Amino acid sequence: METIIDELAARSKTDPIAYRRGLLKDHPRHLTVLNLAAEKAGWDKPLATGTFRGIAVHEAMGSCISQVIEIRIADKKINVKRVVCVIDCGLAVNPDGVVAQMEGSIIFGLTAALYGEITLEQGRVKQSNFHDYQMLRMNEAPVIEVYIVPGGEKIGGAGEPGVPPVAPALANAIFAATGKRLRSLPLRL
């Protein structure tokens, strides 16, 4: 959904944040995470040459999340440099745990978006374990910033909800960089 929202924004020649603000005007929690993510990512500030970003907003398990992903592309390789994540999970009983869950979700989501592929050869799965199934490595891990919206809402999830916005935010950043919409995972140039 979030890549389609971004595509509609591009077709209407509207900034992706402004477009989403219009759609989310009656959804205060979504709008709060969107606005805070845009602010913390410096959405209104110019990026360094060769750096591009994308955004996604998602709701799952009683939590609202927005993520901004910044990338650089070199030699047809996507390098994720920074992820700004804002979560409204209601009352964060253990804020350090929420941050850790978001960090892990983002790494897991990036692994799926960039490398998550199972291939078949003669009817059998080729990948047998982590030695031949590529995972995001420490040297590829971006800077991750997590911000928790202070709130009195009902407590929501703080683990899985961080995964779904990763791939669309990344795909939207790739579109900003290349002008091409990638519509299947893993995302490859």
Contact in structure between 113 and 173 (CB atoms under 8 Å): no
Q: Which of 28, 34, 29 is nearest to 15 (CA)?
A: 34
Task: Give the pLDDT score at 154.
Answer: 86
Domain spans, the chain: 2-178
**What is the second-level CATH architecture of the domain 2-178?**
2-Layer Sandwich (3.30)
Contact in structure between 158 and 97 (CB atoms under 8 Å): yes
pLDDT beneath 70: ranges in the chain: none
- pLDDT tens-digit series, residues 127-149: 988 888 889 999 999 999 999 99
> What would the two tokens of residue 77 be?
């390789």
Using CA atoms, how far apart are residues 109 and 163, in angstroms rounded to an integer?
Answer: 5
pTM of this prediction?
Answer: 0.94
